[in-house]
Amino acid sequence: MALYITDECINCDVCEPECPNEAIYQGQEIYEINPNLCTECVGHFDKPQCVVVCPVDCIPLNPDVVETQEQLMQKYYTITSSRNQGE
């Protein structure tokens, strides 16, 4: 599953720079996560880094984007290979 940020977000700015896939961005009111780029840090870290650094615990799993570990790993490969080709 991708993650998402709830309206409990306090815009503390700590999650965005921690995302290795650049999936987190400033929305109109709070930070948001692009589910097409979120791999829950699979392929990068053991735990989602945004969840680790979030001081208010407002980043749960997104029930609307159900993905297996294998699907998250495939997304990781797709994202990283397209970035490497752009270098």
Query: Where in the chain are the domains?
Result: 16-85
DSSP state of 34: -
Q: Is the pLDDT of residue 2 over 70?
A: yes
Share of the chain above pLDDT 90, in %: 92
pLDDT of residue 86: 59
Find out whether 66 and 74 touch, Cβ atoms under 8 Å. no
- Mean pLDDT for the chain overall: 95
Residue 50 Cα distances to 13, 38, 84, angstroms: 10, 11, 23
In tens, the pLDDT along 62-73 reads 999 999 999 999
Q: Is the pLDDT of residue 87 over 90?
A: no
What is the DSSP pairing of strand 31-33 with strand 24-26?
A: antiparallel
Distance CA 11, CA 87 (A): 31
Distance CA 55, CA 31 (A): 14
pLDDT of residue 82: 79
- Fold category of 16-85 in CATH: Alpha-Beta Plaits (3.30.70)
What is the pLDDT averaged over residues 40-65? 97
Q: Would you call 56 exposed, middle or buried from its count of C-beta atoms within 10 A (0-12, 13-18, 19+)?
A: exposed
